[in-house]
Structure 1
């Protein structure tokens, strides 16, 4: 891998499927009261992640989720996995600036 290339690549799977916003559904099938903006989607190590933000919160309150089979949005519970995804998102933001 070229050291000048980012760890992850940007993808648009959720945005192509749902548009710019999604509403999360809990384990019982109940929809949350608020929609989330899809800020960023990445593919890292063969996994798909998304960065979501609620309509009333700023960028400081963006959340990283894993996207599973059938576009199911899941919490990332493993701290190392979350850190790696967060690092990849930060790196892509850096590459956008240069």
Structure 2
């Protein structure tokens, strides 16, 4: 087996192992951590149709740890230590974890 094929096989195997973890992650922490679910998520927060849950405030500054999550076929979560909520428009992550 060539070095390129070996590297490609290892990368594919690693990617496939991470898929179930990424899909399971939102359910694993959703019940206990304040969460914002938005249409778009990046390292700076979330945009579009953001909804607060698990005690996350809908408006204003937030100084406790929270999650900004995107659901769907490719879920994504970011963890923040503090930020500002302006739901339903956006959530800003001032201090990423």
Q: What's the TM-score bracket when you normalise by the shorter of the two chains?
A: under 0.3
TM-score, length of structure 2 as denominator length:
0.27
Q: Which has the larger radius of gyration?
A: 2
